[in-house]
Structure 1
Amino acid sequence: MTGRRAGGEIPPVLPLLVQAADRRLKEAKIRLAAIDAAPLGSTVTVLGETFTLPQTSKRADGRPGRVWDEHGNRRNPQAEEKRAFFAWTTIEILRHTGIRVEELLELSHHSIIRYRLPNTEEIVPLLQIAPSKTEKERLLLINPELADVLSALVARVRQGDGRIKSIPSYDMHEKTWNSPMPVLYQWEVSSEQRPISLGFIRAALIDTLEASGLTDNNGKPLHFQPHDFRRIFITDAILNGLPPHIAQVIAGHDSISTTMGYAAIYPSDVIEAHRAFIARRRQMRPTEEYRAISTEEWDEFLGHWERRKLALGECGRAYGTDCAHEHACVRCPVLIVGPTERPRLEEIRDNLRDRIAEAEREGWFGEVEGLSASLSAAEVKIATLDSRRQRRESAVFLGIPSLNQITARTSAPAPQHLPPEATRTALRKVAADST
């Protein structure tokens, strides 16, 4: 695939990439189910495509391995579903954890553990990351979204007896074979369980990005590597208030300078402010910082929060900072938009489309460029709102295995789908039941 690396262009369109991966997986499952249900030698139409099945099959289950589409191309619906599934799991796990791709491929069933909080005795699920570049293990909190993905992955690789087969895997950095482990990234090849390769993961991600139709600023297809999700995760964590030294521990970096270097799109003025803050902490605080504030200063501070309220939501700009986007709020990444503002966003989007059409008719090409940027930002915000709504309304499979399932000693019960509001309570309950 040609094109530039994603760099700072992936974060604004990451919700669209996530939606594309989810859509590809659902379509692949529907396509595979329809073809498997059709008799051999027949023709089946699904999702607007027509497929012709072979007269005979060499598979043990009697189902067709390959079919022909309406253009005469040979297709393998089972391989397409497999590729779409692992692209979806990879995108979700990498964006929720920020782990390295070699750590992703080494995740095993034993990586899912439980931890009892010392103060509240609450049981929380954690993901244990084995050492890769460094000699330090680290633990990451499993949120409900990540739990859903991990449970789908566990259910896919689990054998008929409920166990996940332990297989050897190759360490790309150490150039050695690891001891057999129930790794989650495995599949069956010629009746043998084998680990999934890094090359397959890269190809699956590129397929998903191509299917999404996303392009860079030059109109070329976006090109990215799995490591770009690590950069995005660290950047997003710091921008949303996570202290850099905590981000350093989560990422597994030896130095905070490495962590700050990963935050490639972190605003330079915020970096300088953070460094200045650390320098001040190393010195004695000046006495004038403890003086009583005046009425005017307090009124100005309160006025800042009153001016946060906008027609499209609330402005997340920090106190004492100027608007970097000259009050073009629809383009601003710190605009906090709620579900109630969606109709207004739709009006703005439709109005922008009309204005772009008018500018193109009148030959105002300079106007078209600015309006197109605003239209793209509005569409991204609408897509983000829709994604949040679908996540709240859809059923979430809990997917956290019990202790017996983790140690692969018993068969796992059938998965249960829980409504979103019960997810957090059920997480704690399942973890407690495993004690």
Structure 2
Amino acid sequence: MTISTKHSTRRPLQTANTTAEQARARNNVLRERFPPRTVEEWWPATAGSAEEVLHRLTALPFLPAANATRAGRRRGVAKLLRWLSSLPGDTWQQRWKASGAEQIPGAGWTDLPQRFLRQSGLAPSYERTDLTSGLLMLVCGDVIRPDLAWMLTRTHKHLAPTMAEARDPEGFARLTQLAESGPTSARGEATIAATRIAMLLACKGGLIADVTVGDCVELVDTLRRVHVRGGQRKVDFYLRLRALGIFPEDAPAMIRAFGLAAGRLSIEELVDRYPIRSRMVRDLIVDYLRERQPSLDYTSLDSVSRTLAGLFWTRVEALSPGIDTLRLSPALARAWKADIATKKRSTAGQDGTVVEVTSPRLNMKDELIRVRAFYLDLAHWAAEEPARWAPWVVPCPISDEEISKAKDRKHRKARMDQRTRERLPVLPVLTSTVDRRRRAAAELLAAAERTRPGELIPDTDGALRRAVAPKAAGHLIWAEETSTGRRRNLTYEETEAFWAFAAIEVLRLTGIRNEELLELTHHSITEYRLPTSGEVVPLLQVAPSKTDSERLLLVSPELADILSAIIRRLRGPSGAIPLVTSYDCHERVWNPPMPLLFQRDIGTEHRAFTPTALRKLLINTLAVTGLTDTAGEPLIFSPHDFRRIFVTDAIMNGLPPHIAQVICGHKSLDTTMGYKAIYTTEAIEAHRAFITRRRATRPSEEYRTPTEEEWDAFLAHFEKRKVSIGTCARAFSSPCVHEHACVRCSLLRPDPAQRGRLEEIRDNLIARIAEAEREGWLGEVEGLRVSLAGAEDKLAQLDRASRSTAIDLGMPRPAAARNQEVERSAALGRSEGGQQ
């Protein structure tokens, strides 16, 4: 896989407002709890006179060791103070804001003071260099506090060292000590983090100990506005500040918590996401959700609120404005059901225009079930609290037939079984491919590490060269393809190959769910000593997930190898697995730090794998295998496919279904059997085994060799099956239930050659019925009509058989031959007409 290097690009400052508003709208709960420091209008350092400022910034601790640097800074401070003195304002901060320098990104701001100095008749020597040095001193001396977004448009090579000397030597010394205790490869990230922290001091004032969580959030939001990319280096400074212990204990473990979903919303916030006009119905839905909240998890509560407030009542109000009762007319109910039967989404067409696409709503019955439960719950609660719920009790507009899912469950079972049948045979190919890919990636990375930058990597046939990447992170190994010049991140490729191998192996060997895999920790591996032999058996403890039930799985030797490889990879220098804080995307909460087995390094941060990252691993791995489905499309594995394959393979190999139920953590045996895909060959073998068992339990004389008399009687039966109008198909040794009235029997197979005889029988029966009715023989009429119906049925069978026979259409001939034949037929017709 080819990985391109990341780079940072900047957006114009004037276009950043919409992005900032979107960023502020995310996770308002945490942002309100941790606000940034407000921008002060006045502080002592910015209110001093020009002489006081110049004297302070040209004395200790603002004096560098080099005389040239000291002179340049002194000139720069004097020139900037002279320029700012010409601008309106009572403080240097007000004059700086009035200058308009922050409207010019990058280093272009120096044109403003340069123009002033030239107009004043001052010598232009070293002006640009002096001005940037002077600005550095004014910022580090807390004389001015520039805007954060403007600061991010410039490079700040000397900001952190100067800030460490002049503003907070103790705080930056602690940062340096923290960086030295980490890996050597992370020194580059430590330098960038120190610059980010120094930027906060420059724009907000104070020391490192004064930096708040909200300041860091504001910096990250501004980074997202100004820079398109930046990766982990954007947020590494937050981890270092948190490690210094300057944040409160309830501060999030990582700053990504401020940029993820909005966390848990209250019931009122869940409902108010939708524009419900009727206040009474809105309050009813809120009360209903609050009543059900103790029995629902957050995900279910969110789903019910989306259905009732968004998909149900908001749509009903759109169809019938002003409605304030749950009693829907039949026409309104039909219109609402038709409205939610499809869903619309906007997508870009081939010409770039926005196209609205309509597709059926696959979970429509689930939505109807929630609405029906809403009506039925109100009716049930009204018996207990009539004053509160009885005014809302009305007939439910959804019937039982509309929410029947028997057919849907059968179709889903058929689809899932087909997925399992397609994927189980190719599972060995997948596992062998991921293992080879992991080994190849590890060998290539090891060979590249032993190769000097710029030289060809051994055992690659000259296709790869160790890339020279001086700006890359120290822990990354890059290679360059000699034919195309493209760069490949070999470290990333090896990491992806290993974790894809580990995830697939653990999923297929345990049958656990996706979320259970991501929640496995080092503490999940336990042991059990057999009381009889004293043998130690390794077990894997699966945390409660979907069914809220904990269970233990036996660790096979293959699984033990995988788990040990994961643990060896994750162990740090101290021998412990790093503690990682993961985010539960379903419950919208952050889990406490745990030694998760499925975690990875991104920069200097240890992050837990997410469901999205796991799906990407599977997609990239399957792309390498080249496997396809029956339609020729690339074969896709979901994490749950391995669970179905595990159940099917286990039961087919003799594991009792009730044991498979316990292993999988299912509450019902029907669920376990629903995971099992039934194969045709398996049914045949099971039937043959049943016959063998039955023969073993039946009396042996029933399976003896037949006598001559028995064999002759058996053959005579087939000789007696031929009758006048066809063949009798009754079983051997069975009596004729129609007492040889064959025309009435359903087992008679009529002979097409005897059609005339059947027609004679039918005509004779019609005549006999007419005669019996004429003579008054009513006792015979009913029997004759039964025989007539049988005769007509046999004639209908012959008609159907004749229509299903093949018709000879002849052999196709060339068009020229067909035209000649048509002309001959036409000429023959004319001649015959002339003769007539």
- Is the Cα contact below 8 Å between 2:567 and 2:597 reproduced in 1? yes
Relative to structure 1, the CA distance from residue 48 to residue 250 in structure 2 (aligned partners, 3 Å threshold; closer, same or farther) is farther
CA distance in 1, matches of 2:482, 2:522: 38
The aligned counterpart of 1:41 is 454
Counterpart of 1:294? 700
SS at match of 2:457: strand
**Mapping for residues 264-343 of structure 1, pairs under 5 Å:** 264-266=677-679, 293-294=699-700
Three-state SS of the structure 1 residue aligned to 2:424 is: helix
State the secondary structure of the residue aligned to 2:421.
coil
CA displacement, residues 26-54 of structure 1 (integer Å, 9 cap, x when unaligned): 11111111111111122325344612333
Q: Distance in 1 between matches of 2:531 and 2:475?
A: 55
1:181 partner SS? coil
Q: Does 1:94 align with 2:507?
A: yes
2:591 matched to 1:173? no
Tell me which residue corresponds to 1:388. Answer: none
Give the distance between the partners of 1:228 and 1:45, measured in 2 at CA: 39
Alignment of structure 1 residues 147-226 onto 2, 5 Å: 147-226=560-639
Indicate conservation of the 8 Å contact 1:98/1:230, yes or no. Answer: yes
Aligned amino acid, residue 227 of structure 1? H
Structural RMSD (CA): 3.0
TM superposition shift of 1:291: 6.4
In structure 2, distance between residues paired with 1:293 and 1:118: 46
Deviation of 1:232 (Å): 0.2
CA distance in 2 between partners of 1:258 and 1:235 (Å): 12
Report if aligned partners of 1:6, 1:223 keep a CA contact under 8 Å in 2: no
Partner SS state of residue 115, structure 1: strand
Q: Are residue 137 (structure 1) and residue 579 (structure 2) matched?
A: no
Q: Any stretches of 5+ residues in structure 1 without a counterpart?
A: 278-287, 300-435
Normalised to the residue count of structure 1, the TM-score between the two structures is 0.60
Q: Quick one: distance in 2 between partners of 1:115 and 1:184?
A: 21
What is the identity percentage for the equivalent residue pairs of Structure 1 and Structure 2? 50
User: Would the aligned equivalents of 1:134 and 1:252 in 2 still touch at CA under 8 Å?
Assistant: yes
Give, in angstroms, the shift of residue 254 of structure 1.
Answer: 0.8
Match of 1:18 in 2: 431
What are the equivalent positions in structure 2 for 1:367-386 lying under 5 Å apart? none
Q: Which has the higher strand share?
A: 1
Structure 1 contact 239–266 (Cα < 8 Å) conserved = no
Task: Please give the secondary structure, in 1, of the residue aligned with 2:677.
Answer: coil
Of the three residues 661, 664, 673, the one matched with 1:248 is 661
**Aligned in 2, Cα 1:192/1:63: closer, same or farther, shift over 3 Å?**
closer
| 1:114 matches 2:527 | yes
In the alignment, the residues of structure 2 paired with residue 200 and residue 62 of structure 1 have an alpha-carbon distance, to the nearest angstrom, of 21
**In the alignment, does 2:489 pair up with 1:76?**
yes
Inter-CA distance 266–55: structure 2 relative to 1 (3 Å threshold): same
Q: Sort the Cα spacing of 1:118 and 1:70 in 2 relative to 1 into closer, same or farther, 3 A.
A: same
**Aligned residue number for residue 429 of structure 1:** none
8 Å contact 1:6–1:224 — kept in the other structure? no
Asked if the contact 1:40/1:64 (under 8 Å) is kept, the reply is: no
Question: Are positions 1:57 and 2:470 aligned together?
Answer: yes
Q: Shift in Å at residue 264 of structure 1?
A: 2.9
In the TM superposition, what is the alpha-carbon distance from 1:204 to its structure 2 partner? 1.5
CA shift for structure 1 position 298: 11
Is 2:435 the counterpart of 1:27?
no
Closer, same or farther: CA 49–228 of 1 in aligned 2, 3 Å: farther
Name the SS of the counterpart of 2:506 in structure 1: helix
Code of the aligned partner of 1:294? S
TM-score (norm 2): 0.32
The 8 Å contact of residues 185 and 195 in structure 1, kept in 2 or not, is answered as yes
Structure 2 unaligned residues grouped into runs of 5+: 1-415, 706-836
Kindly indicate whether the alpha-carbon contact (under 8 Å) linking 1:168 and 1:177 is maintained by their aligned counterparts in 2: yes
Q: How has the CA–CA distance of structure 1 residues 264 and 290 changed in structure 2, closer, same or farther, with 3 Å as cutoff?
A: closer
Change beyond 3 A, Cα 1:197–1:67: farther
Q: Evaluate the alpha carbon distance shift between residue 249 and residue 50 of structure 1 in structure 2; reply closer, same or farther with a 3 A threshold.
A: same
Question: Does the CA-based 8 Å contact 1:40-1:63 persist in structure 2?
Answer: no
- Amino acid corresponding to residue 259 of structure 1 in structure 2: T
Q: In structure 1, what is the Cα distance between the partners aligned to 2:534 and 2:652? A: 31
Do residues 236 (structure 1) and 642 (structure 2) align? no
Distance 2:487 2:543 in 1: 41
User: What letter corresponds to residue 596 of structure 2 in structure 1?
Assistant: V
Q: Give how far 1:175 is off.
A: 2.4
What is the deviation of 1:210?
Answer: 1.6
Residue 323 (structure 1) aligns with: none
Residue-by-residue CA offset, 1:246-305 (whole Å, 9 max, x unaligned): 11110011111111111134559859x89xx9xxxxxxxxxx999674277699xxxxxx
Specify whether residues 109 and 243 from structure 1 end up closer, same or farther in structure 2 by C-alpha distance, changes over 3 A only.
Answer: same
Partner of 1:433: none
Are the equivalent residues in 2 in contact too, given 1:235–1:266 (CA < 8 A)? no
Alignment coverage as a number of residue pairs? 283
CA contact (8 A) 1:57 1:64 kept: no
* Bigger relative contact order (CA 8 A; separation at least 6): 1
Q: What is the distance in 2 between the residues matched to 1:29 and 1:298?
A: 67
Q: Distance in 2 between the 1:172 and 1:264 partners?
A: 31
Q: Show CA shifts across 1:182-215 (max 9, x none).
A: 0011111121111122222211112221211212
User: Is the partner of 1:216 in helix, strand or coil?
Assistant: coil
Q: Distance in 1 between matches of 2:699 and 2:676?
A: 35
Q: In the TM superposition, what whole-angstrom CA distance separates every residue of 1:232-253 from its partner, at most 9, and x where no partner exists? A: 0000011111111111110011
1:7, distance to aligned residue in structure 2 (A): 3.8
Partner amino acid for 2:588? K
Residues 126, 142 of structure 1: 8 Å contact kept: yes
d(CA) in 2 for partners of 1:132 and 1:87? 22
Question: Whose helix fraction is larger, Structure 1's or Structure 2's?
Answer: 2
Q: Which residue of 2 aligns with 1:371?
A: none
Q: Distance in 1 between matches of 2:644 and 2:572?
A: 35
Secondary structure of the structure 2 residue equivalent to 1:8? helix
Range with greater deviation from structure 2 (219-228 or 260-269):
260-269
CA contact (8 A) 1:234 1:259 kept: yes
